[in-house]
């Protein structure tokens, strides 16, 4: 784009000489080659209108979610976002990309964050929540470090069914302090955690924390989680919970959870290329000084009126880095506002009714898919709410999902780790019922799935 970047060879050569390098590529030599992306395929030296036209052609390859019958789930949900949520988020008092410090934070934003914290505390049954983290995966990473501050050891146990992306983030967090993330096997019939394995590993005295998720990575509920704390004793129990599921399930704090984390995207935040997301974190009051991020508290001003302030700030941008519990910026205030506005609009009964509706739709969907040759749905013999696992007895999950996409159906996502060298187990997909998944969409999915399975072994 010659309008903005000089194309004179002499100028570029002079710049490279001043920098002491021989080419522009040397500026990026510290970035591993496997982490770099190639050029967009646009010829050099084009003017701005030509570049915009080329980029528009690339963008047209994207397809909106509304073009498909979507059954995507996992940690990112497709739920209707009431207009009032966006109306609140677009107000100039809230709409900023900057994380305000105490002197700059308005009472309105502080109160919104206080209400957000209060809501997560109510859902989890714990004592205190922070003002948000980046997403559910980094909340899990922060919970790992939090657990290590509370208990000695070098091993952190997580379910083998935990999504591979979250296990990857956990291992990244663990690599710095030289900690190990190890997997808890599950029962092949029910998908539940192997509690005998947990009991045996805890007995080795080097486990500093255990994570369990509700529902688990297969979409099912594991009743064994209720007995975990009795096995762990003083070892921290981290529960990764779906906020909507907590509207109808026992709060994790009631069965011994020391930390409850979650992904808040499904509350008022539309899926958009996988983000933005919202990390949730709550813990017990006696452990609050080991918690990451910022905490907003309520107090009284000099005239006796209710006021809000940053009560505890342990991020390294506020205090000495050596004393900080996290360097995470917690810049998700706008998403936290979306969470609390959405939950307030729904109310406790509305959230519970939504979860009940999705559970009913999921059973209808599982019944439709379970009658198709080559599909086992649901795969596990355990209770489930709005999501469940389907196993293919022939063909691959990726081929099956690709055939569905050609039929305008997003049938879920593969549970396999797609990274090179990763072990590849059974062909399974996680399927979610959505608010839009009415009878017609379920029938469309079943028809497309029947056609996809009939195509196994031949080109289609």
d(C-alpha 374, C-alpha 428), whole Å: 12
Does 207 lie in the same domain as 114?
yes
Q: Which of 342, 372, 396 is the last residue of a domain?
A: 342
Which residues 6+ apart lie within 8 Å of 413 measured at CB?
72, 73, 74, 401, 429, 430
Instruction: Flag whether 44 is in a domain.
Output: no
Does residue 95 carry a pLDDT above 50? yes
What pLDDT is attached to residue 431?
97
pLDDT of residue 7: 61
- In this prediction, residues 339-360 reach a mean pLDDT of 96
Residues 205 and 270 in one domain: yes
Residue 325 in domain: yes
Are 319 and 352 contained in the same domain?
no
Of 363 and 316, the one with more pLDDT:
363
* Start-to-end C-alpha separation, the chain: 43
- Displacement of CA 162 from its chain's centroid (Å): 11
Q: In this structure, are residues 318 and 210 in contact, taking their beta carbons and an 8 Å threshold?
A: no
pTM of the predicted structure, to 2 decimals: 0.88
Shared-domain flag, residues 134 and 281: yes
Question: Smallest Cα–Cα separation from 269: which of 124, 136, 123, 93?
Answer: 136
Q: Comparing 45 with 329, which gets the higher pLDDT?
A: 45
Q: What contacts 286, CB < 8 A, 6 or more positions away?
A: none
Which of 333, 339, 345 lies closest to 93 in space, CA to CA?
Answer: 333
Q: Is the pLDDT of residue 276 over 80?
A: yes
For residues 196 and 190, the answer to whether their CB atoms sit within 8 Å is no
**Residue 227 falls inside a structural domain:** yes
Tokens of 111: 């109160």
Q: Do 75 and 97 lie in a common domain?
A: no
Cα atoms in the Cβ-side hemisphere of radius 13 Å centred on 261:
27
Domain boundary residue, one of 342, 358, 373: 342
With a CB cutoff of 8 Å and minimum separation 6, the contacts of 62 are none
Which residues lie across from 280 on neighbouring strands?
262
Is the bond leading into 276 cis (omega within 30 degrees of zero)?
yes
The pLDDT score that the predictor gives to residue 1 is 42
CA 456 to chain CA centroid, Å, is: 33
Same domain? 305 vs 362: no
Q: Which domain holds residue 259?
A: 83-342
pLDDT of amino acid 459: 55
Residue 228: what pLDDT?
Answer: 97
**Structurally, how many domains does the chain consist of?**
2
In the predicted model, what is the mean pLDDT of residues 50-58? 90
Mean pLDDT for the chain overall: 90
Secondary structure letter of residue 227 according to DSSP: G
pLDDT tens readout for residues 177-206:
999 999 999 999 999 999 999 999 999 999
């Amino acid at each position: 784009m010659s309008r903005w970047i000089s194309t004179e060879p002499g100028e570029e050569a002079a710049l490279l000489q001043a920098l002491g390098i021989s080419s522009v590529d040397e500026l990026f030599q510290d970035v591993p080659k496997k982490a770099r992306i190639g050029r967009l395929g646009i010829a050099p030296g084009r003017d701005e209108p030509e570049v915009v036209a080329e980029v528009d052609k690339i963008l047209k390859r994207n397809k909106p979610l509304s073009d498909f019958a979507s059954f995507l789930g996992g940690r990112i949900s497709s739920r209707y976002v009431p207009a009032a949520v966006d109306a609140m988020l677009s107000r100039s008092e809230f709409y900023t990309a900057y994380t305000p410090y105490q002197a700059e934070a308005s009472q309105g934003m502080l109160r919104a964050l206080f209400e957000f914290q209060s809501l997560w505390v109510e859902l989890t049954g714990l004592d205190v929540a922070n003002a948000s983290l980046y997403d559910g995966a980094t909340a899990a990473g922060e919970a790992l470090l939090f657990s290590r501050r509370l208990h000695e050891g070098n091993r952190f146990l997580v379910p083998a069914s935990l999504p591979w992306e979250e296990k990857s983030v956990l291992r990244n967090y663990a690599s710095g302090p030289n900690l190990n993330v190890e997997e808890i096997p599950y029962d092949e019939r029910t998908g539940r955690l192997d509690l005998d394995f947990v009991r045996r590993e805890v007995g080795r005295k080097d486990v500093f924390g255990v994570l369990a998720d509700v529902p688990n990575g297969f979409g099912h509920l594991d009743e064994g989680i209720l007995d975990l704390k009795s096995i762990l004793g003083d070892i921290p129990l981290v529960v990764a919970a779906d906020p909507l599921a907590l509207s109808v399930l026992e709060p994790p704090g009631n069965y011994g959870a020391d930390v409850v984390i979650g992904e808040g995207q499904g509350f008022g935040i539309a899926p958009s290329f996988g983000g933005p997301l919202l990390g949730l974190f709550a813990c017990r009051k006696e452990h609050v000084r080991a918690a990451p991020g910022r905490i907003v508290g309520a107090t009284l001003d000099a005239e006796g009126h209710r006021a809000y302030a940053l009560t505890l700030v342990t991020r390294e941008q506020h205090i000495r880095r050596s004393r900080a519990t996290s360097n995470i910026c917690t810049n998700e205030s706008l998403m936290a506002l979306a969470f609390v506005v959405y939950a307030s609009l729904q109310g406790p009964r509305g959230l519970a009714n939504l979860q009940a509706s999705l559970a009913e739709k999921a059973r209808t969907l599982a019944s439709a898919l379970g009658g198709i040759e080559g599909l086992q749905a649901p795969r596990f013999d355990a209770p489930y709410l709005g999501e469940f696992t389907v196993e293919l007895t022939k063909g691959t999950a990726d081929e099956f999902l690709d055939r569905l996409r050609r039929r305008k159906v997003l049938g879920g996502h593969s549970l396999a780790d797609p990274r090179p060298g990763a072990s590849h187990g059974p062909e399974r997909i996680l399927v979610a019922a959505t608010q839009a998944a009415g009878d017609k969409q379920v029938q469309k999915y079943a028809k497309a799935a029947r056609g996809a399975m009939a195509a196994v072994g031949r080109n289609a």
